[in-house]
């Protein structure tokens, strides 16, 4: 038996003995490998990762895991204190095993293990059978056995036991109407609520992305003389996800994690994946240097190198870039990737700037705007509570007016204390030079100086510093909602101390997937499999290494979310670049503004306290707003 495996067995047996005071448990029962590892390991990881939180749920899970075993073992289910010890034990084991592969953290792991095992040993010393059992485990060995068969036997039994836990874990589903917290925030402190318009108050149907794609594609052909064959390409709704990076020089679309590493298998040239070996050769590994990564606004600080697509409007842009690249490669057309990127960017900009999209939406607003009644309900609830509200959007007045008339009614301006259109965010938050300008109902710009921002009036451009001076709305009393992590939220939280809320419509789809038995089974098995890999990597012979390598390949979870790029929030096992920015710039995040309807104005949002890597999670996990389950996805 390897050192790591033996240590885990010691802890498992120590736990069983400690939680079974004054009960007869035979050495054979405690020393059963299939029990100690295969039966308890899935439960260890389920509790340690926050999937099982409630003691009653843990009791039920233990009952399921131990049902085939003797009454002395299952009798612990009747004792809450035993369950509490079990919960702490599972958290300790999960904390000790995390990042065991790292050489520095490995030393910390061993140091922590010695401390924990010493404490367990003191407890065991008071149990009459403890020393005998522990000695028996330590002397256990795999010598003389077929190690490969042993590995697959443990694998099969662990997988079977993981399946037994699924029905318990699926009872803890995540509500997609939950508001999730990155930073503690109480609605008691919020007096002023601010909103972006697009994808915040106005939520659009998928028809809008098709519209943008088709118009921009035709602009490329008509205005930029691109081949007529491009018109055959249609928008692919599920091709891209938000937060991807595009290498302008190499014409590659890819997913990058929070540590600047490319997720292999998610690098696309055109509509086809690039082999991992080619990616590694091009970038001399998987790491992307800081100087060519995007800044807070999604732009590269090193010229036309790496662009990150952060807003929902960018989905048709990414798809169009990929389609044009695909066309050129299919027809062996030599082209300059930088020119292609600039032309597509300009075509997408024309769709907005020239008002083509605005006119199309206004002409058939019921086709494009969804869930307007929910936004209306939120605004009415805030107004009834006497909260001040304002709107800051980059969209023009006519477009916003038409949409808000549809969502709220003709008196929509009566709900807002300040309305600012064509604000030019994110410059609005930084540029002190642009003054406000009043706009009439007919869109006429007035020339008078603005001395105060009046309710019911419409203002254009301006800047946040003047806004703060005229309103006096400062600091943590203001909560602003937007869908763009950089343009809407970054400056407000970093420079001005406002509280921020991110609108992430993709959450609904991802949470729906998370709640499926398929996903629950996959993630529960993923944690158990990770434990297996950590335990069994001590076997260094080539055959055993081949088995462990097969297990490692199983840990990929991309396809269940998006066949090309996976989850918006995670690479295989790390948070995405998008996810890290979300946690930094948004105090809270939610699928839509309507999630506010589920909370009163005294509610405090608490982030789940997750231990730092050097902290052993001795404290019990607390249930909050469902955020803990979402951490499996991030």
Classify residue 348 by its DSSP letter: H
d(CA 178, CA 596): 9
d(CA 81, CA 89): 12
What's the N-to-C CA distance of the chain in angstroms?
Answer: 35
Helix (H, G, I), strand (E, B) or coil at 252: strand
Whether 196 is catalytic is yes
Task: Give one DSSP letter per residue of 71-104, joined into a string.
Answer: HHHHGGGG-HHHHHHHHHHHHHHHHHHTTTTSHH
* Cβ-Cβ contacts under 8 Å for 278 (sequence gap 6 or more): none
Q: What burial class does residue 28 get, using C-beta atoms within 10 Å of its C-beta: 0-12 exposed, 13-18 middle, 19+ buried?
A: exposed
Of these residues, 198, 311, 401, 491, which one is catalytic?
Answer: 198
Q: In which residue are the tokens 């498992």 written?
A: 12
The token pair at 419 is: 């309305």
Instruction: For residue 222, give Cα distances in angstroms to 216, 232, 322, 341.
Output: 10, 14, 19, 17
Q: In which residue are the tokens 């020119």 written?
A: 339
Helix (H, G, I), strand (E, B) or coil at 377: helix
* Cβ-Cβ contacts under 8 Å for 579 (sequence gap 6 or more): 243, 258, 568, 569, 570, 634
Pick the closest to residue 587 from 474, 490, 464, 471 (CA basis). Answer: 490
d(CA 240, CA 413): 36
Instruction: For residue 28, give Cα distances in angstroms to 44, 70, 147, 217, 488.
Output: 21, 11, 22, 71, 62
Pick the closest to residue 492 from 201, 195, 202, 259 (CA basis). Answer: 195
* Cβ-Cβ contacts under 8 Å for 608 (sequence gap 6 or more): 50, 621, 622, 624, 627, 628, 631
| Segment holding 269, helix H or strand E | strand 268-269
Of these residues, 196, 417, 488, 587, which one is catalytic?
Answer: 196
Say if CB 420 and CB 396 are below 8 A apart. Answer: no
Q: In which residue are the tokens 């790292």 written?
A: 102
User: 512 phi and psi, to 5 degrees?
Assistant: -60, -40
Whether 198 is catalytic is yes
- The rounded Cα 389 to chain-centroid distance in angstroms is 29
Helix (H, G, I), strand (E, B) or coil at 464: helix
Instruction: For residue 126, give Cα distances in angstroms to 10, 31, 113.
Output: 16, 19, 20
What residues act catalytically? 196, 198
């Amino acid at each position: 038996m390897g050192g790591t495996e033996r240590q885990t067995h010691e802890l498992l047996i120590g736990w069983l003995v400690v939680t079974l005071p004054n009960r007869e448990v035979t050495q054979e029962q405690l020393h059963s490998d299939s029990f100690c590892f295969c039966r308890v390991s899935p439960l260890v990881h389920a509790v340690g990762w926050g999937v099982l939180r409630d003691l009653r749920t843990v009791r039920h899970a233990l009952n399921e895991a131990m049902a085939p075993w003797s009454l002395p073992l299952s009798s612990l289910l009747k004792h809450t204190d035993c369950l509490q010890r079990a919960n702490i034990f599972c958290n300790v084991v999960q904390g000790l095993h995390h990042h065991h592969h790292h050489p520095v953290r490995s030393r910390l792991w061993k140091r922590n293990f010695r401390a924990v095992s010493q404490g367990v040993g003191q407890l065991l010393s008071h149990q009459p059978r403890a020393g005998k059992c522990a000695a028996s485990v330590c002397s256990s060995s795999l010598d003389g056995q077929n190690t490969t068969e042993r590995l697959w036997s443990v694998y099969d039994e662990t997988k079977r036991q993981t399946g037994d836990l699924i029905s318990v874990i699926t009872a803890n589903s995540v509500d997609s109407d939950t508001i999730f917290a990155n930073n503690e925030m109480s609605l008691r402190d919020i007096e002023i609520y601010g909103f972006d318009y697009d994808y915040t108050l106005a939520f659009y149907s998928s028809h809008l992305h098709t519209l943008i794609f088709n118009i921009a594609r035709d602009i490329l052909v008509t205005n930029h003389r691109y081949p007529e064959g491009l018109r055959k390409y249609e928008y692919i709704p599920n091709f891209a996800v938000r937060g991807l990076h595009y290498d302008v020089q190499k014409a590659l679309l890819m997913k990058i994690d929070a540590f600047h590493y490319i997720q292999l298998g998610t690098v696309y040239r055109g509509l086809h994946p690039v082999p991992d070996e080619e990616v590694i050769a091009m970038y001399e590994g998987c790491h992307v240097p800081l100087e060519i990564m995007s800044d807070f606004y999604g732009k590269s600080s090193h010229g036309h190198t790496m662009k990150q697509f952060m807003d929902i409007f960018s989905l048709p842009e990414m798809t169009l870039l990929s389609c044009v690249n695909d066309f050129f490669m299919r027809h062996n057309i030599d082209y300059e990737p930088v020119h292609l990127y600039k032309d597509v960017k300009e075509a997408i900009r024309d769709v907005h700037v020239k008002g083509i999209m605005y006119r199309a939406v206004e002409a058939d607003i019921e086709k494009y705007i969804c869930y307007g009644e929910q936004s209306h309900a939120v605004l009415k609830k805030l107004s009834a509570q006497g909260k001040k509200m304002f709107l800051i959007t980059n969209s023009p007045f006519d477009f916003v007016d038409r949409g808000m008339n549809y969502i709220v009614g003709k008196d929509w301006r009566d709900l807002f204390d300040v309305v600012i259109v064509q604000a030019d965010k994110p410059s609005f938050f930084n540029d002190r030079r642009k003054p406000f300008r009043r706009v009439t109902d007919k869109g006429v710009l007035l020339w008078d100086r603005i001395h105060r921002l009046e309710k019911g009036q419409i203002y254009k451009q301006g800047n946040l510093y003047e806004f703060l001076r005229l309103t006096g709305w400062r600091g943590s009393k203001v909560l602003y909602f937007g869908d763009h992590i950089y343009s809407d939220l970054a400056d407000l939280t970093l420079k001005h101390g406002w509280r921020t809320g991110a609108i992430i419509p993709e959450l609904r789809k991802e949470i729906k997937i998370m709640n499926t038995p398929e996903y629950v089974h996959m993630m529960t098995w993923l944690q158990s499999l990770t434990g297996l890999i950590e335990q069994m990597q001590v076997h260094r012979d080539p055959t055993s290494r081949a088995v462990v390598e097969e297990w490692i390949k199983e840990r990929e979870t991309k396809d269940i979310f998006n066949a090309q790029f996976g989850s918006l929030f995670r690479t295989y096992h790390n948070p995405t670049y998008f996810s890290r920015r979300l946690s930094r710039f948004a105090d809270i995040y939610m699928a839509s503004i309507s999630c506010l309807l589920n909370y009163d104005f005294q509610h405090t949002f608490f982030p789940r306290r997750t231990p730092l890597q050097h902290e052993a999670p001795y404290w019990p996990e607390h249930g909050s707003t469902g955020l803990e389950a979402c951490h499996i996805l991030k």
